[in-house]
Structure 1
């Protein structure tokens, strides 16, 4: 299965799979680390399944401490998980987590790679994962990355056994081991970085035969931090997963065991020459670079540049792959020692596809060394610029000479601007069509055969954009008018055009497409910007497609209050079936008139993420007792080896209820009706097994494991070979009203336009 993210990304200039290791450091510290790294010709590749699976302490130790070329290969981009900071799911969440990984690597100093595997959600077996990924395809991806990176050692984060838990964890290790064995590049050894999350695991790891022990809690006086402190900062970049981590101080033992290849007794690089002596012609280079590192004066880094310049022609002659790697590092080190500031800035952040990009190349020599750029001397601290027209994705290239020696530097093209609050910022350059066509939602529901308005937003990405837009529908569906004209004078202007769409009488599910025609060219892509403070803005160009669903849905809840949790698109879905939805903020939750609502829905992870919700829990229970309907969607279980209990879930209902960790990952699994005559299954919509067909990704998450006898369990389901789970929908009458706790994944099914999900949720809203 291929990941379908990056063909839809507009920020072609801004996306790079591998980031320079020292970009998060500056000044003398950055130069010192760059000089030390020049003398290390060793490399390590870590393999795991998802963003956040990586051992950031080990990566920091290897990259920052041992100065080895280090990388993390994440088999997926984590698009199948949950989102703690917003409503993005699927590919959009994968974009966020990709950027979070890149941000983490800037901190710990490693590089980042991916395979084409899709994170399809939680899997309970390696066999299921490997079948869905494709063994040959993903193993082949890993082998190509191994061939490209050429690691001396490969480190598996998982064992490849059921002890790993998640089937994708197991599969990453199984395929990683196969890739190690079958790759044409022969790494010296394959190691397993054993777990030590619990006391029992720590004891087991410490007593493993043939183990290698590494203390990642070692303090680095140059960095001013231990590698575990750096790891905490790196791991905290995973905002969307709520992975804020402590910066640990003191000893932190890590254990590795060799599972394939040559044995090692004391160090993962045993038997590997990591000096310049490993390559032909490297010995004189090593001597020059050792002298450069030894004589480095942090107050006068420019004094080190002549030694580096002397080494450059020698490095250029080396034919070993290490020669190309170290030549790039050497040129960057020379630029750092010379105080060369090199930048490539576009004149705008959105470029029409097919057009060249006007880029300003800027060079400043902040040392007294005699540098020339294209034959023109770079005087001390004087800015020189040149303009260039580049193709989308092409970097800015600088050839800077000192005497007869030239260095080659590349810089990614960004748009540089000043924000009145944040100051100077950069953002990626987006390549976009002349106009963008945004559809109202991924799915539009027609609960009856009546026509409904469908609004299409047209955005100009250039001045003077005019044309017409239409909705393409199959036979039986009708849009009026057939087309509408638009005229936008300036870039960034928007116009909303409305169509009346009439569905056929019977049930129907179709794929519609919005198309804009401008200058004889058809455009059918939208524009979506994902913007969070911790990552660069990401511009996506999703297909302008709508899943249109004609399904009979009756809903008795006219006014619905929604307490947003971590973020989801459920409110927009409920509006489509006739509910007026009001988002309830902290102020209204504390003092507003809750009785104005027929039903109040708590969004996903509401009790995990909203302290004000927990503080006003009793107000909501009183609302139920007075005759209201309250629906609480899933919350994440607390405690266990990977987290602590905060007490957030001590009270989520009118009576005791314990959230567990069980889930049902196979979305096609049958759902049993425990009480077929219950009003919930019959009013206002008659629910049948057919309503559970066509679901996406999974059935439910974090099913309650225990609950008070006053709750009624209505539904039951389970994964193959596992015990039935009946806590996925708990119904309780409290006073005059109804309380419902549900772990079924409505936050996935409703935005995806699953017809039965709308009918079932309408019954939840209508419960009395």
Structure 2
């Protein structure tokens, strides 16, 4: 299109009419669209960018704002707003064609760039947010620069979010959101720490500094737990420094207890209790979260039996890490281990979630696994999705995996076989062990179950009939086979005490 600037007067008239639209939503939509169209036809290009990707709260952000007028349009810049002084700006200056104008400013980083829906503590499935913010795709208080122009005699204001701009050798010029961070972030190594005695554990905290300076880190005292040392100081840290400190935590007594411990960083008289989580993919803007610097500490009334667990990985879960915290030695098994190894050394073998969906070699390993059971082993198969399994014969006797689940995490559980060893050895399981489960009870239950299996649990969502397909157990030869669709892969990382007690029982075959 030639001479787009000639369209500007007509577009400004249309803009004036759009401002008279009575509906507020459509008035905003149409005036913003027309403003962008006017700027494009007037040849105006403008942006604001920071000189580095991250700034700590209270630090100065160095911002460059640039404008270029690419046609001979009648446009003048009257003001730039950023909440601070502007270097190189002269109000009312004209904008000669093809001359890049750069203005510098140095506002203070006043608010974290934590997504607003994560700023306040929240419950399960709901966020605590102000009504004025609900629905926005990003924070409304991100650093912005406003540009005031007079174009063809009409005052128009434009807004640009401050971004970090850099050049990538492959991707070229890249724009990303800037981070405004706590001065120092703290990430506790594990989300959950399990204690089944008064033995101490080392709790490591990884720190990252976004400032030059000193401070200290501590774990906030909680009743029922001993923490040593009380505080660890750090000095002369530079921007980007990372280091790890360790505390020793011990249950104060043998009474079962669950608590949340919080890491607190003190810098310049202020306390911060936030970690750092960066989400990076090429197809979306960078996302930075500051999760609470917390971990659950659980002193369990728990007995364990056996020591060595073989684990066949599935689609990915954190069950092996949870078992290691209980003192088990967990071996991740490959095909050679299963087919040619001595499986009798394992007190139990567990298949990870959806293993029979994603591990194509399991169809060839399955005979060895069932032979392990027959010779006295204990095989625990976690849930698989219905259809597209590498073999439908995952147990010694027939059953089908179906798309059935119990989604209410507090759904009533009925133990139909209380005398079953699964509920007595080595831990006595009661309905209380199903308290405080998260997200769901289980998924992809079994159906068409052969009579040789015991099905000792009943459960259902509200309004649905009870189902017995969450837990199957049978003796086979000298050993035991278990299929469970209970969501242990969610409960164990979440630190649900009863789930740990029940899962240990699944691993523990009475001699």
Question: TM-score band (shorter)?
Answer: 0.7 to 0.9
From the CA coordinates, give the structure whose radius of gyration is larger.
Answer: 2
| 1:726 and 2:443 aligned | no
| 1:509 and 2:258 aligned | yes
| 1:308 and 2:11 aligned | yes
| 1:684 and 2:426 aligned | yes
Per-residue CA deviation, residues 712-767 of structure 1 (Å, 9 max, x unaligned), is 32322223453221110122445665443211121222122111111111222334
TM-score between both structures, scaled by the size of structure 2: 0.79
Q: How does 1:26-425 map to 2 (within 5 A)?
A: 297=1, 301-316=4-19, 321=24, 322-374=26-78, 375-390=92-107, 392=111, 393-425=142-174
User: Residue 498 of structure 1 aligns to a residue in which SS?
Assistant: strand
660 and 307 in structure 1: CA distance in 2 versus 1, 3 angstrom threshold = same
Q: Which residue of 1 aligns with 2:124?
A: none
| 1:715 and 2:465 aligned | no
How many Å separate the matches in 2 of 1:339 and 1:765? 71
Q: Which residue of 2 aligns with 1:658?
A: 400
Per-residue CA deviation, residues 653-706 of structure 1 (Å, 9 max, x unaligned), is 455432223322333334233333333333332323222222223322222222
TM-score between both structures, scaled by the size of structure 1: 0.54
How many Å separate the matches in 1 of 2:29 and 2:363? 58
1:624–1:736 contact (8 Å) kept in structure 2: no
Q: Which residue of 2 aligns with 1:497?
A: 245
Alpha-carbon distance, 1:543 to partner: 1.9
1:454–1:501 contact (8 Å) kept in structure 2: yes
How many Å separate the matches in 1 of 2:391 and 2:285? 34
Per-residue CA deviation, residues 545-590 of structure 1 (Å, 9 max, x unaligned), is 222111132332434425141x4433332221113445568x8789
How many Å separate the matches in 2 of 1:591 and 1:381? 72
Q: Which residue of 1 aligns with 2:181?
A: 432
401 and 584 in structure 1: CA distance in 2 versus 1, 3 angstrom threshold = farther
410 and 632 in structure 1: CA distance in 2 versus 1, 3 angstrom threshold = farther
2:188–2:293 contact (8 Å) kept in structure 1: yes
Whose strand proportion is higher, 1 or 2?
A: 2
How many Å separate the matches in 2 of 1:601 and 1:760? 14
How many Å separate the matches in 2 of 1:725 and 1:438? 41
How many Å separate the matches in 2 of 1:364 and 1:473? 57
How many Å separate the matches in 1 of 2:321 and 2:99? 55
Q: Which residue of 2 aligns with 1:477?
A: 225
How many Å separate the matches in 2 of 1:561 and 1:549? 24
Per-residue CA deviation, residues 150-207 of structure 1 (Å, 9 max, x unaligned), is xxxxxxxxxxxxxxxxxxxxxxxxxxxxxxxxxxxxxxxxxxxxxxxxxxxxxxxxxx
User: Residue 723 of structure 1 aligns to a residue in which SS?
Assistant: coil
1:488–1:495 contact (8 Å) kept in structure 2: no
User: Residue 311 of structure 1 aligns to a residue in which SS?
Assistant: helix
Per-residue CA deviation, residues 575-612 of structure 1 (Å, 9 max, x unaligned), is 21113445568x8789895847554434434444x2xx
Q: How does 1:594-613 map to 2 (within 5 A)?
A: 595=343, 598-608=347-357, 610=358, 613=359
538 and 740 in structure 1: CA distance in 2 versus 1, 3 angstrom threshold = farther
Q: How does 1:618-629 map to 2 (within 5 A)?
A: 618-627=364-373, 629=378
2:276–2:290 contact (8 Å) kept in structure 1: yes
What are structure 2's unaligned runs of at least 5 residues? Answer: 79-91, 112-141
What are structure 1's unaligned runs of at least 5 residues? Answer: 1-296, 639-645
How many Å separate the matches in 2 of 1:536 and 1:589? 43
| 1:667 and 2:409 aligned | yes
| 1:744 and 2:483 aligned | no
Per-residue CA deviation, residues 586-643 of structure 1 (Å, 9 max, x unaligned), is x8789895847554434434444x2xx03433314523422554433333445xxxxx
